[in-house]
């Protein structure tokens, strides 16, 4: 009998990962930043300062700040979140995590059991969907319009579930620069969602990872700040606003939530050096950095839109975003973006097929998400041109007026 290490693996594992061979040139996926927008000099300055001043603290788990993470960084967040999103919290309400993905995992572990039901936006972060599915938790998609969740549909779904004796644990929402639609939910609708949550007794899981990337650096209040009790759990990240590889995110919640998570967050604490340098950097430079960053992101967004108009014309439908790093595009129904993804990958172009970003995969077969933060403007133009060529070769040139009929 031949020996195979795979025979010892546990059951129900996903397919093995492929070896990493680097990013392709025309990379339109993921929350990557561009190398030019990483504030290397300022980060290096902060890193040198904190290592010299506080390096000895690395001898201790929690680096003299305890299991919730760096005290100075949490103090910055208390001040920043009060000014920017209207929160009134203390450092005890904040838990620093290894990116927002760990925040999602911790909150899911806190609340969900096999067989539970959660509500999600009909188009939402693919990682959130895959995580609840891996826990054998059911998810139900709520309709969106250009201002986010449609309240009437939310109530309709809740009534239907109630008639089946199903009571959702939480509503997962990305209200500010929604992923993938990039919409921003206005204050009034946020208030109504809170009222619905009170009436039907479910929690709200507010993911604000893209909220710092609005073009004008303005935004509505966080849903968390509107709640008068502990019904809302909030998470954020520095990955999109500074650098994804730093892997620093955070949870904001009431102490009963934080204290319970601490009882099973048994990783020895998230990376200390990253937290230390971010604490110094953010207090000195965060506002200036993000103001410059969004200007570059908006200019790249404009280039991607110009390229889409030139190469796809009116067959590519989208709303101009108010911030963020991606466009959510609807193509004619005969264009299967799962197939387009496969073909594009063979030509070293990566895209997010819409089926991975919706609660009902069939509803996303002719949609796709394109990220523009990482590639240069020249690469964006070239990549969209190549993508259009691949698309037309497979699905034909649409018989409509516009730039695409050539």
DSSP 218-257: --PPPHHHH-SSS-EEEEEESTTTT-GGG--EEEE--HHH
Place of tokens 């839109």: 305
Kindly list the distances between the CA atom of residue 85 and the CA atoms of 79, 217, 226, 345, in Å, as whole numbers in the listed order. Answer: 10, 11, 10, 39
Distance between CA atoms of 245 and 158, rounded to whole angstroms?
39
- For residue 392, give both structure tokens: 């037309």
Which residues are 232's β-sheet partners? 204
Helix residue ranges per DSSP H, 55-212: 71-85, 99-111, 126-134, 151-163, 187-200
Residue 1: what pLDDT? Answer: 65
Predicted structure pTM score: 0.93
Domains along the chain with CATH numbers:
21-39+287-395 (3.90.1150.10), 40-285 (3.40.640.10)
Q: Over the chain (406 residues), what is each successive 10-residue block's mean pLDDT?
A: 86 85 89 92 95 90 90 97 95 95 96 97 95 95 97 98 97 97 97 97 97 94 94 96 93 97 89 93 96 96 96 93 96 94 94 94 93 96 96 81 39
Residue 12: what pLDDT? Answer: 81
The answer to whether 354 and 336 have CB atoms below 8 angstroms apart is no
SS3 349: strand
Strands (E), 270-382: 326-330, 349-350, 352-353, 367-371
Residue 60: what pLDDT? Answer: 85
Which residues are 352's β-sheet partners? 369
Provide DSSP, 4-60: -GGGGSPSSPPPPPPPP----SEE--SSPPPGGGS-HHHHHHHHHHHHHHHGGGGGS
Question: What are the b/e assignments for 35-65, b being 16+ CB within 10 Å?
Answer: eebbbeebbebbbeebeeebeeeeeeeebeb
Kindly list the distances between the CA atom of residue 169 and the CA atoms of 108, 111, 134, 304, 330, in Å, as whole numbers in the listed order. Answer: 10, 7, 16, 39, 31
Query: For 366-402, what is each residue's pLDDT tens digit?
Result: 999 999 999 999 999 999 999 999 999 999 876 654 4
Distance between CA atoms of 172 and 276, rounded to whole angstroms?
30
Residue 173: what pLDDT? Answer: 98
Residue 78: what pLDDT? Answer: 98
Residue 401: what pLDDT? Answer: 44
Distance between CA atoms of 383 and 390, rounded to whole angstroms?
11
Residue 404: what pLDDT? Answer: 39
Mutual angle of helices 377-395 and 272-311, in 10-degree steps: 50
Place of tokens 């502990």: 230
Query: For 308-331, what is each residue's pLDDT tens digit?
Result: 999 999 999 999 999 999 999 999
Residue 400: what pLDDT? Answer: 52
- For residue 152, give both structure tokens: 């009437």
């Amino acid at each position: 009998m031949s020996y195979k290490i795979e025979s010892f693996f546990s059951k129900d594992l996903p397919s093995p990962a492929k070896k990493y061979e680097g990013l392709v040139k025309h990379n339109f996926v993921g929350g990557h930043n561009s190398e030019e927008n990483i504030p290397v000099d300022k980060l290096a300055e902060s890193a040198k300062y904190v290592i010299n001043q506080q390096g000895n603290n690395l001898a201790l788990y929690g680096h003299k700040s305890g299991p919730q993470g760096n005290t100075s960084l949490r103090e910055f967040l208390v001040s920043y979140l009060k000014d920017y999103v209207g929160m009134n919290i203390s450092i005890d309400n904040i838990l620093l995590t290894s990116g927002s993905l760990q925040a999602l995992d911790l909150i899911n572990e806190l609340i969900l059991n096999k067989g539970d039901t959660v509500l999600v936006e009909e188009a939402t972060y693919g990682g959130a969907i895959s995580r609840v599915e891996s826990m054998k938790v059911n998810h139900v998609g709520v309709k969106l319009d250009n201002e986010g969740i449609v309240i009437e549909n939310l109530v309709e779904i809740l009534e239907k579930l109630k008639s089946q004796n199903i009571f959702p644990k939480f509503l997962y929402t990305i209200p500010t620069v929604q992923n993938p639609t990039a919409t921003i939910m206005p204050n009034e609708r946020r208030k109504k969602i809170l009222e619905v949550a009170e009436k039907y007794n479910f929690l709200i899981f507010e993911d604000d990872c893209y909220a710092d990337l609005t073009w004008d650096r303005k935004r509505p209040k966080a849903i968390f700040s509107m709640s008068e009790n502990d019904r809302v759990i909030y998470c954020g990240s520095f990955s999109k606003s500074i650098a994804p590889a730093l892997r620093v995110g955070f949870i904001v919640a009431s102490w009963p939530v934080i204290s319970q998570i601490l009882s099973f967050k048994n990783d020895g604490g998230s990376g200390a050096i990253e937290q230390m340098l971010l604490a110094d950097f953010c207090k000195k430079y965060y506002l200036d950095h993000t103001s410059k960053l969004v200007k570059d992101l908006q200019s790249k967004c404009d280039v991607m839109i110009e390229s889409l108009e030139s190469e796809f014309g009116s067959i590519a439908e989208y709303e101009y975003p108010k911030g963020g790093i991606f466009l959510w595009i609807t193509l004619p129904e005969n264009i299967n973006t799962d197939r387009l993804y496969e073909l594009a990958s063979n030509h070293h172009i990566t895209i997010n097929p819409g089926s991975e970003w919706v609660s009902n995969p069939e509803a996303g077969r002719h949609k796709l998400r394109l990220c523009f933060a990482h590639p240069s403007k020249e690469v964006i133009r070239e990549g969209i041109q190549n993508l259009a060529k691949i698309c037309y070769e497979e699905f034909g040139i649409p018989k409509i007026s516009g730039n695409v009929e050539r």
